Structure 1
Amino acid sequence: MPVTITTLSNKAKQPKGGYLPVKLFKEIHYNTKHEFFPDENVSKPLIETTVDNMTRILLGAKAKKVFQPATSGLMVAKVDIFEDTFDLIHTAADLDDDSILAAFQLSIYETIYRSGYRSSVNLENKLPDNPPIENIREMINRSPAYFKQQEHIIDVGDRLFVKYKGDTIYGDYDYLTEDS
């Protein structure tokens, strides 16, 4: 029987103090060139999705694969603009304003897909007037600095399937390294 890793982990009883006690971790601070602009008019999860997707692309993932949930979001929202989406996917490949805005728009569709929104939607009304492009760019720029100090990245964002005790366990992962 298939089961998600999230479902399985929620059912597992952890030992006292957890599997990995906080005291085993070391806090690391990274210097950055730019501070964030304080006024944002966009939800944090939407910004997180945009930053994560663009980071995956900068680390070598194919844009078509990264933005597959966005394409599914168009189907869920019953939006018929696949040609425009194809253009957005190819635009979202760099850190210029157009790329970040394209990734941001695609993240809206992904959010629709992941939330299971089922009715028709006017996506023009979902776009804020001034998305925080500079903040998004700064967060994207910080991510490679983090990964340079980690183990070698083997793969970026995929689905994992494992057979265990007769069950198929599956789930998505963000980044896979040699030891984590």
Structure 2
Amino acid sequence: MVSVTNRITQVKQPRGGYINPKDFKFVELNDSKELFPDENTHSTIVGLAVDYLTRFTMGTSAKEAFQISILGSMLVHENDYAMALVDAVIGLDDNSIINACKLVGFDVARRAGVAAYRPVESILPDHEAISNIRIMVERSTTFLKEFGPIVKDGFTFECGYTQIVSSGDGDFLTQSTLWDFKVLKKEPTNKHTLQLLMYYLMGCHSIHEEFKSVDKLGIFNPRLNKVYLLNINGIPSEVIHQVASEVIGY
């Protein structure tokens, strides 16, 4: 039994992917802000910090927004330190962003196992990383105000897991769209589009009624400030059946 992202690495997709990323329509947003080309912090840390800080900025409590980080900290017996970091995330000031980056360093213990954990004290984002994270969170909140409102965030798929896929969590749901945030320097790949389709199918099998009104899959990349959208009814039914049975195990 594996996570959604691990399952994707095991699957040999048909040529172009189950869903070709080129099938998504994209919209380029523009805020005239420039990101620094380089930052000293790992892309996974930056991506998670942007994701959770966006949830926090949109009104989710820090404790809820960083829930996976907190669960990870318990596994490595660092819960007191993690809770002190949570209390110190108060906005988008430099210190809050640094604390957020340290906090998400605990995620790996929960997502990949304790053996993959490295002490979070060593995570020290530089000026460039802090500035980039701040701009990307601001872009994300602007995007959500335009394409929202959010009806659910940071959700898991209770009753949607199988003997093959046992974990995975989605980013944001609006009334009509399942959104995944990707903080990438490049365009989405067929791994990312398969991840979204898996989340959608698992959501439909889960306890969450909100998936009944979802008719689009969306990716937002705050690094490129681009939105990618695909109508679910444009996905061939045989692709949906194949992913449901052969990839997820329904």
Give runs of aligned pairs for residues 18-167 of structure 1, distance below 5 A.
22=21, 24-79=23-78, 82=80, 84-118=81-115, 122-124=119-121, 126-128=122-124, 130=126, 132-162=129-159
Amino acid at match of 2:152: D
Tell me if the contact between 1:161 and 1:170 (Cα under 8 Å) persists in the aligned partners: no
Query: Runs in 1 of length 4+ with deviation above 3 angstroms?
Result: 2-24, 118-123
1:88-123: CA deviations, max 9, x gaps? 212223111121111111011123332212388543
**CA displacement at 1:128 relative to structure 2:** 3.0
Distance 2:48 2:10 in 1: 27
**Is contact 1:157–1:173 with CA below 8 Å preserved after alignment?**
yes
SS of corresponding position for 1:155: strand
User: CA 1:162–1:142 in structure 2 vs 1: closer, same or farther (change >3 Å)?
Assistant: same
Alignment RMSD (CA, Å): 3.5
Residue 23 to residue 93, structure 1, CA distance change in 2 (3 Å) = same
C-alpha separation in 1, matches of 2:48 and 2:117: 22
TM-score, length of structure 2 as denominator length: 0.56
Q: 1:49 to 1:149 in 2, by over 3 A?
A: same
Any stretches of 5+ residues in structure 1 without a counterpart? Answer: none
Alpha-carbon distance, 1:6 to partner: 6.6
Judged with a 3 Å threshold, the aligned counterparts in structure 2 of structure 1 residues 5 and 122 are, in CA distance, closer, same or farther, namely: closer
Matched residue SS, 1:160: coil
Report the residue type matching 2:73 in the other structure.
L
* Alpha-carbon distance, 1:173 to partner: 1.7
Secondary structure at the aligned position of 1:27 is classed as: strand
Question: Residue 70 of structure 1 contacts residue 109 of structure 1 at CA under 8 Å; is this kept in 2?
Answer: yes
The code of the aligned residue for 1:149 comes to E
**Amino acid aligned to 1:35:** E
In structure 2, the gaps of 5 or more residues are 178-250
Is the Cα contact below 8 Å between 1:59 and 1:156 reproduced in 2? no
Q: SS of the counterpart of 2:158?
A: strand
Change (3 A) 1:12 1:149: farther
Q: Equivalent residue of 2:153, what SS? A: strand
